[in-house]
Amino acid sequence: MKCTLASAVAFLAAKTQGSLVFLVSTEPGNKGIQKSWVTDRWVCHELTEPGLNKNISWAYVSSGLANGCYLYEDAGCNGTNTYVEKYKGDLCCPGDVNMTDVDFDNKASSWACY
Ligand SMILES: *[C@@H]1O[C@H](CO)[C@@H](O)[C@H](O)[C@H]1NC(C)=O
Ligand SMILES: *[C@@H]1O[C@H](CO)[C@@H](O)[C@H](O)[C@H]1NC(C)=O
Ligand SMILES: *[C@@H]1O[C@H](CO)[C@@H](O)[C@H](O)[C@H]1NC(C)=O
């Protein structure tokens, strides 16, 4: 699982020249509706895509320029939030986060990476 995810992300990241790739899904473990974005840092994104608003249950930040991404409860990157730290390799930090583990299941309405 980790290997296929890593290679998919490596492919995306190679195409984006150092920009960040942020992935989410609507069920834990990258199941359900899946979505990924290439993003710059410091840009707030609304979860306007069908099925995603208040429905995110999993997130993953690939290696890139940012340190990690926040998911926010309210629009405009407002309200309570949870941090998803960038994956830094198997020796360091966890990669993907199930929102059920951080009390943020089906809460997010917007997100931004820094
Ligand atoms: C997230 O949840 C899925 C499904 O329950 C599980 O397979 C996976 O190992 C979990 N991932 C983490 C990082 O806990
Ligand atoms: C949430 O995602 C599930 C799939 O994981 C989908 O079946 C459901 O329609 C979505 N709910 C909303 C409110 O978009
Ligand atoms: C988010 O909060 C800021 C500061 O409190 C406010 O100016 C802005 O209007 C809010 N955005 C939305 C979309 O609610």
The set of residues, in sequence order, having a beta carbon less than 8 Å from that of 106 and lying 6+ positions away, is 54, 55, 56, 57, 99
Predicted TM-score (pTM) of the model is 0.82
In tens digits, the chain (114 residues) has pLDDT values of 455 666 666 555 545 445 678 999 999 999 999 999 998 889 999 999 999 999 999 999 986 767 899 999 999 999 999 999 887 776 666 679 999 999 999 999 999 998
Which tokens go with 78?
């407002």
* Residue 92 alpha carbon to ligand 1 centre in Å: 18
User: Among 78, 80, 111, which is best to mutate for testing ligand 3, by the most ligand atoms less than 8 A from CB?
Assistant: 78
DSSP type of residue 102: T
Quick one: pLDDT at residue 3?
52
* Residue 55 alpha carbon to ligand 2 centre in Å: 6
Quick one: pLDDT at residue 91?
65
Q: In terms of Cα–Cα distance, which of 60, 62, 81 is closest to 13?
A: 62
Q: Which ligand is nearest to the CA of 81?
A: 3
Q: Which atom of ligand 2 is nearest to the CA of 26?
A: 5
Quick one: pLDDT at residue 64?
73
Residues lining ligand 1, Cβ inside 6 A: 28-29, 94, 96, 98, 101
Name the architecture of domain 20-113.
Answer: Sandwich (2.60)
Domain residue limits, the chain? 20-113
Q: Which atom of ligand 3 is nearest to the CA of 78?
A: 1
Q: In terms of Cα–Cα distance, which of 8, 104, 112, 30 is closest to 66?
A: 112
Exposure string of 70-108, with b = 16+ CB inside 10 Å and e = fewer, is bbbbeeebeeebbebebbeeeeeeebbbbbeeeebbebb
